[in-house]
C-alpha cells in the first residue's frame, strides 16, 4: 500500500483514498475508466445477456437485495469459452466461469450461483415474499 493512502469501504471491498481528501471513484491519474479502455489500457466488457433481481432470505434472516448478471461469453481458445458472473452476494468482484463453449459457460454460471445459494440455505423471494427460482439462461448466440 502506498504511503498516504488508507483502505476504506465495506469488508471485502477496499478502495483507496488520500487521507483528508474526498474519495473519487473511477479515476486513475486523472483519467476515467472509460478513457483508459478506449486507449487499450483496460479490456472492453462484454454486454450483459442475463440479469435477475430478487430478495434473498437466509434461515431466520430478513430479506436482502439479490442481484445476478452474466456477461456474454468470449472464446478463450479453440476449446474453451468463458463468461463473467456478477453476483455481489456470492463475491464482491465478477467471477469468470469457463466451459467448452459459450452455452456451457453461461449455464455453468447460473448453476454456480444456484449451488452457492443452496449451500447457504438461501432462498430467493419476490416483493410479496413468494419463493422464486432463477430463470433459465439464454443461448450464447442470442
Closest CA relative to residue 141, chosen from 70, 73, 64, 44: 73
Q: Is the pLDDT of residue 37 over 60?
A: no
pTM for this prediction: 0.67
Q: Show me where the domains of the chain are located.
A: 5-38, 48-132
Q: 38-92: per-residue pLDDT in tens?
A: 445 456 788 999 999 999 998 877 889 999 999 999 999 999 999 999 999 999 9
Are 17 and 5 spatial neighbours (Cβ–Cβ below 8 Å)?
yes
Q: Is the pLDDT of residue 26 over 50?
A: no
DSSP letter (8 states) at residue 12: T
Asked which of 15-29, 51-65, 93-107 is least confident by mean pLDDT, the reply is 15-29
DSSP characters over 91-131: -SS-EEEEESSHHHHHHHHHHHHHHHHHHTT-EEE-TTS-E
Amino acid at each position: 500500500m502506498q504511503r498516504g493512502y488508507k483502505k476504506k469501504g465495506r469488508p471485502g471491498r477496499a478502495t483507496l483514498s488520500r487521507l483528508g481528501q474526498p474519495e473519487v471513484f473511477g479515476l486513475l491519474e486523472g483519467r476515467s475508466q472509460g478513457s483508459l479502455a478506449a486507449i487499450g489500457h483496460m479490456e472492453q466488457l462484454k454486454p450483459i445477456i442475463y440479469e435477475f433481481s430478487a430478495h434473498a432470505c437466509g434461515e431466520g434472516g430478513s430479506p436482502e437485495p439479490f442481484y445476478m448478471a452474466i456477461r456474454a461469453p468470449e472464446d478463450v481458445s479453440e476449446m474453451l469459452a468463458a463468461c463473467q458472473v456478477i453476483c455481489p452476494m456470492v463475491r464482491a468482484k465478477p467471477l469468470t466461469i469457463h466451459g467448452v463453449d459459450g452455452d456451457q459457460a453461461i449455464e455453468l454460471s447460473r448453476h454456480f450461483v444456484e449451488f452457492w445459494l443452496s449451500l447457504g440455505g438461501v432462498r430467493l423471494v419476490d416483493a410479496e415474499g413468494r419463493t422464486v427460482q432463477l430463470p433459465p439462461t439464454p443461448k450464447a448466440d442470442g
